[in-house]
Amino acid sequence: MSIIIVEPDPIAPVSRFGTWLAEWGETPVYLSMPQDADALTELARAVGTGTGGVDGLVVCGGRMSALACDEHPWLEDLGRLLRAVIAEEIPVFGMCLGLQILAHTFGGEVRVGDDTAGHDGPLTVTLERPALADPVFGALARLGTTVTVYESHNDHVSVVPAGAVVLASSTNCPVEALRYGSAVGTQFHPEASPDEAARWAESEYGPGAAGPARREAEEADPAIAAVGRALCRGFFDQVTARRSTG
């Protein structure tokens, strides 16, 4: 049984989430798109027939739209995998694009290219009341009702799936995190380090943006890393609890 990490885009690796999982003795299986698309197809089929050997799933971020199935056909298989693992109550963590794919898969709506809700850089988000009792987000309660996170997005979830619970929001984005069944997703990037911040800024705005983005991220990084590590630990504890009962 393994934690599967799906990386849709090489510019948005699992980064510190993988480091923390390794620190706790975990050796995840990585699937990088599009080169591992066939393996993703097979995994979705296997989990759907009860032979997948998955006890946790992480879906990372990326530059593509969650709706771009024609351009990225593996998105449909990722949706199938999400439906299969959530049907089995397997813990899932989606980051940014991962949240948007989760919402879209289960009937929510994703707004593409909406600068009014987008943000690049550190941001304060507010935990909603359901977050305090959530098995993953509850770990943030000791940090307060507002926390500092790192964001890099324009697309966002505009309508949550029926049955989903919003766990966090911000002034410009009403769905910063949600729970749907055994899955949680964040619009922000709990895995992101200052290295990612610099790389994303350079990709979006050119080389001159990398330095300022890195400095801004470094200044806020103690708080950002504390949130990321707490969420990763909450997810890992859910996986561990499921293993002990399964």
If one counts every other C-beta atom within 10 angstroms of the C-beta of residue 120, the result is: 18
Handedness of CA 194, 199, 201, 202 (dihedral sign): positive
Can you tell me whether residue 15 is helix, strand or coil?
coil
Whether 96 sits among the annotated catalytic residues: the reply is yes
Burial 207-240 (b: 16+ CB within 10 A, else e): eebbeebbebbeebbebbbebbbbbbbbbbebbe
Q: Which of 191, 196, 216, 232 is catalytic?
A: 191
Find the DSSP H helices in 88-209.
97-105, 129-132, 194-205
Dihedral, 201, 8, 136, 148 alpha carbons, nearest 10:
0
**CA–CA separation, 91 vs 68, rounded Å?**
25
Q: Are strands 54-59 and 119-127 parallel, antiparallel or unpaired?
A: unpaired
Q: Which of 104, 119, 156, 189 is catalytic?
A: 189
Q: What is the DSSP letter of 113?
A: S
Q: Which of 60, 72, 96, 173 is catalytic?
A: 96
**CA–CA separation, 178 vs 73, rounded Å?**
25
**CA–CA separation, 179 vs 216, rounded Å?**
29
Burial zone of 49 (CB within 10 Å; 0-12 exposed, 13-18 middle, 19+ buried): exposed
Question: Which residue numbers are catalytic?
Answer: 96, 189, 191
